[in-house]
Structure 1
Amino acid sequence: MQNMTQEMKQYEVHRIEKDTLEITGEGTNNLWNQAMILTDFSSPWDTNLPSKMEFKALWDGVNLFFCFTIFETLIRIDKKDDSIQSIGNSDRVELFFRPDNSLNPYYCLEIDTAARIMDFVAYPNKNFDFEWNWPQGHLEVKSSIQDQSYSIEGSISISSLKMLNILQDNKIETGIFRAKYNEIEKSIFEPNYISWVDPNTEKPNFHISSSFGVFHLLDNLSV
């Protein structure tokens, strides 16, 4: 894992007691009040401000939990089938994890509002292997749509993060992203890309070393 620099954004993942957080897709469990709330997301390639989004994470020694809340009512979802293309044409949130800044490899989870998962392993220069899947039984995702927002909630086993060499010294180098499709003409949609970290690229590109920040998994139980 690369040396942590001041330039990399940091996020503290608070620890909760084991087996106390159930994934429902609603993100309403009181335990989420113990999590740090991330709201500093931006769309560096679009002059229009994206709708508000919040991200939270917790862990209990066994699982890493995450919750996205997107304050958006116009939701684009391609229901043609459950293919990679269909998910890729839908509004979605994304988590990328890497062992180090070589991006050789890194692991991607892209999840739409129906909790459909596009999981793949990637290598430099956008070399994607869609035949790869997150280890079976080590990832759970649920979602819900409310009047003014939608939520995507999930858990990832700590053992799988260690197996993939992602979790090192209680740190995880992570990218947090979102793709929002806007209708520019009748039935013609274009994506707006939103990121926690501005990768400083001319065109949208999450598949680059500069798009990652750092999660710190704290050992002390949150109270």
Structure 2
Amino acid sequence: MKKLLLLCFLSALTAACQTKQAAGLLEVHEIEYEGNINIQKVSNLLDREAVMHHVDVLNWEAFPYRPEVSFRIAYSEDAIWLKFYIREEHILAQRTETNSSTHRDSCLEFFFDPISEGPYYNFEVNAIGTVHLAYGPGPGKHQREFVEPDLIERQMQVYSTLGEEPFAEIDGDFNWELTMIIPAELLVHHKDLSLKGLRSKANFYKCGDDTSKPHYLSWNPVGTERPNFHTPEFFGTLVFK
């Protein structure tokens, strides 16, 4: 009888976890620290204190390649901290100009609607830390407004273990990491925004349009016929605790 009750409990627990995962709900916790902060300290704190999540949903059968991608996310009083961990066979990093087409390189992306109002920010960062950032409504990406490059370059910190120099595609078995600090000041359409207590909409992606194996992975499933990340109706929920 005890064994039967245990099996029922485990089955119910598994079902609850699967339901939560399917719903795309992710809790983002605040990390407190002492002294000054920098990108390396953020990277280490995320490794120690944040939960690992995965960008592993294959939404389109025409693009079956699945690199291994995971991430940790947390926040401080005035910034979102995000670290990706990637293992893949082909890496491309040619774009060096802010707000260029970084999605054509090996690219990590974070689409973020802070107050679940509809318009959202799309952070698209290639393997050497070049940032593309715009804001606007979905689903049409042509409606979006770029954030000023000077502001991005002053405010956003990005570190890639692959360095900062551009390179043509390289093939092999690569493990690399990318860490970013996104200060609240970069959310230019949400002045004086406090992260704590927010219930936001978001998705996390990995892509590489011009790589030998184009791929389009997401954290929360995307239900479109063709690859399209500009689909806020398929964003999951972030709760800033």
Question: TM-score interval w.r.t. the shorter chain?
Answer: 0.7 to 0.9
Task: Tell me the distance in 2 between the aligned counterparts of 1:132 and 1:119.
Answer: 9
Task: Tell me the distance in 1 between the aligned counterparts of 2:53 and 2:231.
Answer: 21
CA contact (8 A) 1:179 1:194 kept: yes
Query: Aligned to 1:191, what secondary structure does the other structure show?
Result: coil
Report the AA paired with residue 32 of structure 1: D
The C-alpha deviation readout for 1:172-221, integer Å capped at 9, x for no partner, is: 221111112465xxxxx563211111121111111112331122222xxx
The C-alpha deviation readout for 1:106-160, integer Å capped at 9, x for no partner, is: 1111000110001111223221223645955442111113973111101122455
Aligned to 2:181, which of 155, 170, 174? 155
Match of 2:128 in 1: 114
Task: Tell me the distance in 1 between the aligned counterparts of 2:150 and 2:192.
Answer: 10
Q: Structure 2 length normalisation: TM-score?
A: 0.71
Report the AA paired with residue 159 of structure 2: K
CA contact (8 A) 1:94 1:177 kept: yes
Quick check: 1:44 aligned with 2:72? no
Task: Tell me the distance in 1 between the aligned counterparts of 2:214 and 2:41.
Answer: 24
Report the AA paired with residue 43 of structure 1: L
Structure with higher helix content: 2
The C-alpha deviation readout for 1:44-84, integer Å capped at 9, x for no partner, is: 113625011111012222322100111124201225x5264
Q: Structure 1 length normalisation: TM-score?
A: 0.76
Quick check: 1:200 aligned with 2:223? yes
Give the alignment of 1:138-153 within 5 angstroms: 138-145=155-162, 148-153=174-179
CA offset at residue 13 of structure 1? Answer: 1.7
CA contact (8 A) 1:96 1:175 kept: yes
Structure number with larger C-alpha Rg:
2
Task: Tell me the distance in 2 between the aligned counterparts of 1:134 and 1:166.
Answer: 23
Give the aligned CA root-mean-square deviation in angstroms. Answer: 3.2
Task: Tell me the distance in 2 between the aligned counterparts of 1:201 and 1:12.
Answer: 26
Match of 1:221 in 2: none
Report the AA paired with residue 129 of structure 1: E
Task: Tell me the distance in 1 between the aligned counterparts of 2:192 and 2:132.
Answer: 17
Task: Tell me the distance in 2 between the aligned counterparts of 1:22 and 1:114.
Answer: 18
Task: Tell me the distance in 2 between the aligned counterparts of 1:167 and 1:30.
Answer: 18
Match of 2:170 in 1: none
Task: Tell me the distance in 1 between the aligned counterparts of 2:25 and 2:101.
Answer: 33
Count of residues in correspondence between the two structures: 206
Query: Aligned to 1:72, what secondary structure does the other structure show?
Result: strand
CA offset at residue 92 of structure 1? Answer: 0.5
Match of 2:93 in 1: 77
Match of 2:102 in 1: 87
Task: Tell me the distance in 1 between the aligned counterparts of 2:79 and 2:34.
Answer: 9
Please, which moves more after superposition, 128-137 or 65-74?
A: 128-137
The structure-2 alpha-carbon separation of the partners of 1:209 and 1:86, relative to structure 1 and needing over 3 Å to count, comes to closer
Query: Aligned to 1:174, what secondary structure does the other structure show?
Result: strand
Match of 1:56 in 2: 72
Report the AA paired with residue 33 of structure 1: R
Report the AA paired with residue 177 of structure 1: Y
Percent identity reads 22
Task: Tell me the distance in 1 between the aligned counterparts of 2:185 and 2:97.
Answer: 28
| Uncovered stretches (5+) of structure 1, i.e. residues with no partner | 184-188, 219-223
